Amino acid sequence: MPTYMDMHDIPGVKAADVAGAHEADLRVQGAYGVDYRQYWVDEAQGKVFCLVDAPDRETATRVHREAHGLEAHVLHEVTQGG
């Protein structure tokens, strides 16, 4: 299954809010065969990054849309290095 790293531009973002959004992703993801594995927050720059295993880009985006409406601005397919 492909792995993706997404990036959200959310000025003023707070880590606590992202934690809630991630929990919402976890509640929705099973219906779509998606696994939102981890996320990172840069409050100073207003950026959020999510690592997700998903069948395709559209399905990864759909989980975010249904869970909380915060779709990524950028989504890259990535391969884990050593």
Beta carbons of 71 and 64 less than 8 angstroms apart? yes
Provide CB contacts within 8 A for 1, sequence distance 6+: 33, 53, 54, 55
pLDDT tens for the chain, 82 residues long, are 999 999 999 999 999 999 999 999 999 999 999 999 999 999 999 999 999 999 999 999 999 999 999 999 999 999 989 8
The whole-model pTM stands at 0.91
Domains of the chain plus CATH, in order, are 3-78 (3.30.70.3090)
Give the span between the Cα atoms of 30 and 42, in whole angstroms: 27
Q: State the pLDDT at residue 45.
A: 97
Q: State the pLDDT at residue 5.
A: 98
Q: State the pLDDT at residue 64.
A: 96
Give the span between the Cα atoms of 20 and 13, in whole angstroms: 12
